[in-house]
Amino acid sequence: MNLRRLVQIAPLLLLIAACSKNPLPLTQPEKQTMTELTASLKTRCVGRYLIDMPSDALSTGSATIQGVTFEATSMTNETFEQEMTARETELKSKVNRHGYRVLYDYGQISNTPHSRYFVALRDVDDTADLSRAIEAYKWDAGYQLKLRIEASDWVHSEYKKKVQGTPYAVPDMSLNDVPEKTNLVMDLIRKVRGRADDEIPAEPGVCFLGGFLPRKAANGEDISVLFAMKDRTDAFFTLQTNTDLRELPRDTLLNRLPDIRSKIKDPNANGRIIRSGTVQVGGIKAEELLLSGTTTARIAGHVFTLEANTATSGSMTPYLVLDMGNGSINTFARNGIQKASLTDGEAIALWDTVSRTLRPRPNGF
């Protein structure tokens, strides 16, 4: 059993008896590695928080706000216009093998330059026409911004009519949230804007990779960004904020001990607790756990975690979790990891440097 599996079960390990708050001093080669990694840190914005990462770190992320997924892709305006033309052509040319309409509505978004929207069948191979996908695109500040949400229309469904009176009949519901969700997506696409990696907004709102949505603190926000070390991609951080993910008090990081004690005995995990306890980070009361053992790559490595607001998640106190992996599979390091890039000392030192920079963004809420 590897570290990540234990993380999912426990979801993280804690064994106070094995804790050590004072790691051994770094060797000269380890000091050199740390100098290379931390000589140039750059502040990044994730959700409504800031954290300092190595300036050359690779990044990828996801964002869902009010049920709408947000994506940002760096491109020129010319490329954007070409892609929108191609998307329109693609949807117009698609044919559903069951004979259902594929493209229902499309066009430019009013009062929004460099924009386009499409309302289409959720999937070209759908066996019924009950579901829709609403997409909205905008080019701003060097980024293509794409918003997407799924909706349902049972009122105008040909499938519903076709199967009426048969064993395949669907409930006679007047469900059609396409107009409502289309309006939501249109409202959000007008407000969202492109954002350079090192741009730190001064107004309330939500940062996601390549973009920013101005708005006061509210529920319905789930943001995650992964930062991988450029030349050591198996070493990475993931920062997630979620306003709606809440656990019972007994399930906070430091209250998972009973289940953890049973899972740590698995000989395949080879787990060891390096450090655990409560910490104050940027004025945030949090709990942390530093664990070594077998990783998802089936090699010796590390998983470190810091959690805050686990039992009190909300618009003003979103659930906040910072993970660090070393010797683990991720978007930038998938196969062939033979050895973790960082030693125990280097992993702890990098964690202590980066994790302590986590703080709320001024005026972010």
| Res 247: pLDDT | 82
Answer yes or no: pTM beyond 0.85: yes
Pairing of strands 284-294, 205-208: unpaired
Q: Of residues 247 and 74, which shows the higher confidence score? A: 74
Q: 3.40.50.300, 1.20.1740.10, 3.40.1000.10, 3.30.300.160: which CATH number matches 3-66+220-360? A: 3.40.1000.10
Q: Are 18 and 273 in contact, with CB atoms under 8 Å apart?
A: yes
What is d(CA 105, CA 15) in angstroms, rounded to the nearest whole number? 57
304: exposed, middle or buried (C-beta count within 10 Å: 0-12, 13-18, 19+)?
Answer: buried
Q: How far apart are CA 83 and CA 79, in angstroms?
A: 6
Q: Are 165 and 177 in contact (CB under 8 A)?
A: no
pLDDT digits (tens, 9 = 90+) for 343-358: 999 999 999 999 999 9
Using one digit for the tens of pLDDT, what is the confidence trace for 221-260? 999 999 999 999 999 999 999 999 988 877 899 898 667 6
Has residue 18 got a pLDDT over 70? no
**Do 311 and 252 contact (CB within 8 A), yes or no?**
yes
- Asked if the model's pLDDT at residue 279 lies above 70, the reply is yes
Query: What per-residue confidence (pLDDT) applies to 260?
Result: 67
Can you tell me which residue has the tokens 């993380």? Answer: 7
How confident is the model at residue 4, as a pLDDT? 40
Q: Where in the chain is the domain with CATH 3.40.1000.10?
A: 3-66+220-360
